[in-house]
Amino acid sequence: MELGINTFGDAGLDPVTGKIVSHAERLNQLVEEIATADRVGLDVFSIGEHHRKDYAVSAPDIVLAAGAAVSKNIRLSSGVTVLSSDDPVRVFERFSTLDGISNGRAEIMAGRGSFIESFPLFGYDLNDYNELFNEKLDLLMTLQKGGKINWQGKHRAGLQDADIFPESVQKEIPIWIASGGTPQSSERAARLGLPLVLAIIGGSPFQFKRVVDFYREVGRKSGHDPSKLKVATNSHGFIWDTDQEARDIFYPAISASMTKLGRERGWGAYTREAFDAMSDPEGALYVGSPETVARKIVMLYETMGIERFTMQTPVGVMSHDKVLRTIELFGKEVAPLVKEGIKEVDARRK
């Protein structure tokens, strides 16, 4: 089971210190976070794409390329690339470039995005939301296979015997499909034989088992190798020495961020009561001591058999030294406990 970090590159006001973290400062911090995650042995680092003031990253591949220069082994992924409002040829060229710089560590996580700012920004109609994604995913998968590209679509000029460069180091750059857990997204990924990433940020993560089972069953019936039908989950989290310290340190940042989003989307305020409930064993937050977080990840593996878990941290703006330390604890203390726990689960199943 792979473990990693996901981040949106949150910037702006730190609710604890009152300091404004600029976009430039946050971008440089991300490079250091990639280097730290690599040094402590984590498997993957993914960065989201957004086009709004509270996130510093509109071009994940550029930040990942900077991270490639200060890392050796960690896989480098978008988290996500908003494919519907981008050009698949340019996406593939950029990630092929990242693949070369990183010597074969690039991945693409393709999604429709949970924000819509990129659609008017790049001149796309939200009425074409689903159609754009399906068509562009088809082209991206065609590009993934390499060779002369022949393709025809509705929303982009067709390609005839086109060559796309640079050539990637990997035979095929992995493409993951990001989903909020809808049956439609899971079915799409399964029929195409693409690995699935589930964003689990509320409720109980174990409620998603039926989505995972549905995905794998559709993929199997579609004739795909079960070993290729990988599932990853991404959840908010933070690790410190004790459960109480982890909750107390993490709450101000995540509360400020989620309350702001709540005002935009009509949710209620993100209360401490709700936060503590989601930090409990059955909740969607992976917040606590190394032992607590490891135990929850092992439970996720035992329940759903996922192949990858990424912890989204920070959520909101936090002191950089605290983010670096939680990454250190994840790699040095949580990961060994998870590996041991998985061995015990697998042994019981035999």
- CATH, residue 15: 3.20.20.30
Q: Indicate the pairing of strand 106-111 with strand 149-151.
A: unpaired
At residue 9's C-alpha, the angle toward residues 59 and 332, to 5°, is 115
Cα–Cα dist 42/75, whole Å: 9
Cα–Cα dist 280/266, whole Å: 25
From the list 177, 32, 178, 44, the residue with the least C-alpha distance to 105 is: 44
Q: What are phi and psi of 176, to 5 degrees?
A: -100, 150
Cβ atoms 348, 54 nearer than 8 A: no
Confidence of residue 334 (pLDDT cuts 50, 70, 90): very high
Q: Return the residue matching tokens 């088809």.
A: 138
Q: What is the pLDDT of residues 45-104, one digit of tens each?
A: 999 999 999 999 999 999 999 999 999 999 999 999 999 999 999 999 999 999 999 999
Please compute Rg for the chain using Cα positions: 20
Q: Write down the pLDDT at residue 52.
A: 96
Confidence of residue 112 (pLDDT cuts 50, 70, 90): confident
Per-residue pLDDT, averaged over 234-249, amounts to 98
Query: What is the residue-wise DSSP string for 30-95?
Result: HHHHHHHHHHTT-SEEEE----STTB--S-HHHHHHHHHTT-SS-EEEES-EEGGGS-HHHHHHHH
Cβ atoms 345, 302 nearer than 8 A: yes
Cα–Cα dist 2/51, whole Å: 29
**Which amino acid does the sequence have at 288?**
G
Cβ atoms 112, 143 nearer than 8 A: no
pTM of the model: 0.97
Q: Write down the pLDDT at residue 267.
A: 87
Question: How many beta carbons lie within 10 A of that of residue 45, not counting itself?
Answer: 28
Domain of residue 232: give its range. 2-349
Q: What is the pLDDT of residues 118-157, one digit of tens each?
A: 999 999 999 999 999 999 999 999 999 999 999 999 999 9
Q: What is the pLDDT of residues 179-216, one digit of tens each?
A: 999 999 999 999 999 999 999 999 999 999 999 999 99
Residue 245, classified by CB atoms within 10 Å of its CB into exposed (0-12), middle (13-18) or buried (19+), is middle
Number of domains present in the structure of the chain: 1
Cα–Cα dist 271/254, whole Å: 10
At residue 97's C-alpha, the angle toward residues 21 and 155, to 5°, is 90
Cα–Cα dist 85/120, whole Å: 9
Confidence of residue 300 (pLDDT cuts 50, 70, 90): very high
* Least reliable range by pLDDT among 36-40, 44-48, 88-92, 262-266: 262-266
Q: Return the residue matching tokens 């939301």.
A: 129
Q: Which helix (H) or strand (E) holds 218?
A: helix 209-221
> What percent of the chain is modeled with pLDDT above 90?
96
Across the chain, mean pLDDT equals 97
Judged by DSSP in three states, 193 sits in coil
